Amino acid sequence: MTDHEILTAALRWSSAYQNRRAIGAEKRRNENALKAFGDNQFNPYAPTYRESCRVRDAASDAAQRLTAARRKEQAALRELAKVCAKVRDSQRQVADAAEVLDVDVKLLTC
């Protein structure tokens, strides 16, 4: 496992995480704006009806993009976990070898 592969997996997850958070924030802003319209958002005779329709469509679009972003983030996280597992396995072998060398050195010095 090279440093480049580890860095690539970490950066892929980080960018997916930031993207998902940005889309989630946009969705929450749109939902809060819809709450501000109150019952007038469904009244076609209200003066703010067109604006509420636009915000509702934007919130729906953000919700769909959020689902896709979550899937990408989860895939990147699974890939990062696989890379970390490979690194841990290689580190365990090194740690085991170091323990064996320590034992051999202690036996020789006694």
Please write the tens of the pLDDT for every residue from 48-94. Answer: 888 888 999 999 999 999 999 999 999 999 999 998 888 877 666 55
Domain ranges, ordered by start, for the chain: 3-109
> How is 18-58 classified by DSSP, letter by letter?
HHHHHHHHHHHHHHHHHHHHGGGGG-TTSTTHHHHHHHHHH
pTM, full prediction = 0.72
